[in-house]
Structure 1
Amino acid sequence: MEKFDFIIIGFGKGGKTLAKVASAQGKKVAVIEQSQEMYGGTCINIGCIPSKTLVHEGLAHGSFDEAINRKHDVVSALNSKNYHLLADDENITVFDNKGVFKNNEVIDLLDKEGNVVDSLTAPHIVINTGATPVVPEITGVNESKYLYDSTGIMNLKDKPERLTIIGGGYIALEFASMFANFGTKVTVLETKDTIMPKEDKEVAEQVITDLKDKNINLVLEAETQAFKDQDGYTVVKTNKGEFESDAVLLAIGRKPNTDLKLEQTDIEIGEHGEIKVNEQLQTTVEHIYAIGDVKGGAQFTYISLDDFRILKDQFFGEGKRSTENRGTVPYTVFIDPPLSRVGLTAEEAKEQGYSVKEGKLPVNQIPRHKINNDTRGLFKVVIDANTNKILGATLYGVQSEEIINIVKLAIDQNIDYTVLRDNIYTHPTMIESFNDLFNI
């Protein structure tokens, strides 16, 4: 049995970063990754990097074939770079195996046939195995040749002329917008009576209008009942009719990847299949930690990176960082144009008892929109009327993915909204809109 200081199961953002820091402290680290296609984790290989590369190419009106080729080149380069970042480190050993728990102390390494080929132990074990797409139980889902998850849909050799997306969440909408930009006829089937129910209603209405203007067919309260393959395509059967599709994207969510024989440990699982952790990311076994998507919560690469910071502080710092003090978490939905959000909407703030005032600015009133040649979008901010503190912002428009981070910083630093209102910004830029947006 080989002994290490750290065992990290999974090659994702948080785990790979921790491995390098631990190595720099002279620690012996084992990193276990069952798929060579996943060096670097979900974001680099099958998540945000390839999908946003395709989004970028779609906005640039490139061809689908060229976009797929560029995506492949980007992913291959990053995959190789991440592998060598760890594998070439004398203190880090990368094992190309599936790792499972033999007990609380020992990790077994399995070959592709499921045989145990080695066993490892360490005083610190970190689970960093991410999440996997949920596959719905629908008639024909296992038989159809035209169904894809978010990974498979980005590896198509030919552009589908007709794409049906099962699910109306953020991942679904990103792919809908992207494929529409490539000229695909897109249908989105959503079970609820609306999309983006948690967003500001006025902004969500604009998003819906813009998606429809791209000829995206949004079908609400749609229950998918069956898939039936025909010659060269499949038929999606629903309570709202039938939809002929060259490809179908299953995008109803992702679930924590806990296929680790956890039943042979004292690690507890939560009600949504996530590994339970405390504020310092410890599982119910003291020396075993879980970071990233596998522990549930927001599935963002930057959350995984902040999870790393918490563990770094636990192992090599003062132990003060936790999930409770990382501040507000912004996010962007990379539709066209992007929707970015941090903190509360006005409705949410009022429900929590705040007295609020709102700032609102259509993008077509921002001088930069003339240069961008894009009038679409609406910026909104929510202010605590009693304290002048910023409670939240929803920015729907070009470059919102960049400037939302300034609002996050202002919230975390407890800055009055007047600071952003009265600041000097370069011109002509989208962020100079803050002079007017915060002029409440």
Structure 2
Amino acid sequence: MKHQTDALIIGFGKAGKTLAPFLAQQGLKVIVVERSAHMYGGTCINVGCIPTKALAQQAHLAAQQGIRDRAVRQELYAQAIREKDELVSLLRNKNLRLVQDQPGVTVITGIASFETAHLVRVETELGSLLVEADRIFINTGAVPVIPAIPGIESSKVYTSAEILDLAKLPERLAIIGGGYIGFEFASIFAGFGTQVTIFEQGELFLPREDQDIAAEVQKVLEHKGIRIQLQTGVTQMEDHEETGLILHLSSSNRSEEWKGDAALIATGRKANTDELNLEAAGINKTARGFIQVDEKLQTNQPHIWALGDVNGGPQFTYISLDDYRIVKDQWFGSGHRTTLDRKFVPYSVFIDPPLSHVGLTESEALKQGYHVKVAQLPVTASTRARQLKQTEGLLKAVIDAETKQLLGFTMFGVESSEVVNIVSVFIRSGEPYTVLRDTIFTHPSMAELLNDLLSLILD
């Protein structure tokens, strides 16, 4: 069977699920293909932002209780998993309805692969069908990288998606990889009382951050019982029924072993394109294996776009949403919006407390030739933080000494994921930092720390 459509969207991610109903409202016929009924709504809702942050909140509450009893901790964890599953199911069904109930949109569950640049085969449970489209949007996201470690196929070794369904709270968990995803899971499981050890091959902890920020994060995480071993690789894994999971480690020219219950692989993500047969469509990839796009997200095939994580941009769901805005602007706007507009993209890492940043770090600003002034303030300076009994962390601002513009901001502390959005909007204004310094904020709030932080800059 062959279907003809104006627009084919492959993948149910943030960009695709937002684009589909919009195009249909403009009178286009749209088909959305998603390989799994468990992924309606995309990575964020099903195995990314929503479930992990739900667990992070419950882990924070559990940690505040300081419960040592293993059975009680297990029940708290099990309840958190049940609540996470209920939330994900609710949002998954809601997203499906928002797309498939839109007149002009058809949702097909199956595996898509290109036959030609305009023709895509979809393998479904009921058989194979062909879709011919004038315009095609690839929104298939990214998947975990699985390193070639002997024994990694063990049932006690999990990806970031698989570990979300782990029914039993592990007493000892190894996390292989020292990136942001690994640290979020470390914080989650440590909050429920698991003994967590992170193994990272690199020399630096959080190399993307200024090292004073990284040192503060490391201090707080270690205080919560998380062990961090740098310059340590895993050479082999063994799964024994009696002794559990054994990791063979290589560190500083010596070998050692780690014994525990489970391991999480958090060594990065790659484009989810293995099943797409991109070669048949003549679509180019980058050296890192992501789909190559220009600043308007078009591939080398002008009728094909790649949106979201699959194109190698910042892997945030809000970037995928902005990809939708760029495509929308090309057809129904001025056509000026591009990825080059993304100069100040904030991010938050939901460890406990969260780490948030926007703009340049101090080291990046110095490398770019700025003469900078820097201010730092501990979170303990906040009355609100003391009320919340969450006084860990610090704030940091980087100022251009010549123009007085705020170049970058980092906050490692409670509610930083909200405060960073205020700063992000301000940086885009181009106003001198003194405007934010003198802005009136509510009291008591975490945002008012911006007044105190920026008052430390001496003109």
Query: Normalising by structure 1, what TM-score?
Result: 0.98
Structure 1, residues 105-139: CA drift from partner, whole Å, max 9, x if none?
Answer: 111111359x6x11111211000000010001001
Matched residues in 1 for 2:391 and 2:123: separation?
55
Q: Which residue of 2 aligns with 1:32?
A: 33
Q: Could you tell me which residue of structure 1 aligns to residue 139 of structure 2?
A: 128
Q: Give runs of aligned pairs for residues 22-101 of structure 1, distance below 5 A.
A: 22-61=23-62, 63-101=76-114
Q: What's the CA shift for 1:21? A: 0.8
Alignment of 1:235-274 (within 5 A): 235-240=246-251, 241-259=256-274, 260-274=276-290
* 3-state SS, counterpart of residue 371 of structure 1: helix
Residue 315 of structure 1 deviates from its aligned partner by 1.9
| Greater displacement, 77-86 / 324-333 | 324-333
For 2:181 and 2:333, locate their aligned partners in 1 and report how far apart those are by CA, in whole Å.
36
Per-residue Cα deviation, 1:134-162 (whole angstroms, up to 9, x for no partner): 001001112x1200000111101110011
**What's 2:232 paired with?**
222
* Residue deviations 1:301-331 (CA, integer Å, cap 9, x gap): 0000000000011122121100011331110
**In the aligned structure 2, how far is the partner of 1:395 from the partner of 1:189?**
25
- The CA distance in 2 between the partners of 1:170 and 1:195, in whole Å, is 11
SS of residue in 2 equivalent to 1:84: helix
Does residue 193 (structure 1) correspond to residue 203 (structure 2)? The answer is: yes
Amino acid across the alignment from 2:442: T
Corresponding residue pairs, total: 437
1:350, 1:370 → 2: CA distance? 34
Contact 1:167–1:252 (8 Å) recurs in 2 = yes
- Provide the aligned C-alpha RMSD in A: 1.1
Looking at structure 2, the residues matched to 21 and 297 of structure 1 have their Cα atoms a distance apart, in angstroms, of 23
1:163 maps onto 2:178 in alignment: no
Q: Can you give the 5+ residue segments of structure 1 that lack an aligned partner in the other structure? A: none
In 2, the alpha carbon distance for the partners of 1:351 and 1:133 equals 32
Q: Does the aligned pair in 2 maintain the 1:224–1:236 contact within 8 Å?
A: yes
1:350-365 residue pairs with structure 2 within 5 A? Answer: 350-365=366-381
Letter in 1 for 2:257: E
Aligned partner of 1:435 in structure 2 is: 451
Q: How does 1:400-415 map to 2 (within 5 A)?
A: 400-415=416-431
Question: Counterpart of 2:193?
Answer: 183
Once the two structures are superposed, what CA deviation does each residue of 1:145-195 show, in whole Å capped at 9, x if it has no partner? 200000111101110011001101100011001100000000100001221
- Indicate the larger mover: 289-298 or 192-201: 192-201
Identity %: 48
Residue 3 of structure 1 deviates from its aligned partner by: 1.2
Could you tell me how far apart the structure 2 residues matched to 1:38 and 1:374 are?
A: 35
Aligned mates of 1:304, 1:334 — CA distance in 2? 19
Which amino acid in structure 2 is aligned with residue 245 of structure 1?
A: G
1:360 CA displacement: 1.2
Whether the 8 Å CA contact 1:8–1:29 is kept in 2: the answer is: yes
Structure 2 distance, partners of 1:145, 1:339, is 32
Instruction: Report if aligned partners of 1:256, 1:293 keep a CA contact under 8 Å in 2.
Output: yes
- The secondary structure found in structure 1 opposite 2:232 is coil
DSSP 3-state at the match of 2:21: helix
Taking structure 2 as the reference length, what is the TM-score of the superposition?
0.94
Query: Are 1:200 and 1:394, in contact at CA under 8 Å, matched by a contact in 2?
Result: no
Q: Secondary structure at the match of 1:165?
A: strand
Residue 419 of structure 1: how far off its partner (Å): 0.8
Out of 360, 366, 390, the residue aligned to residue 374 of structure 1 is 390
Whole-Å Cα distance in 1 between the matches of residues 208 and 17 of structure 2?
A: 33
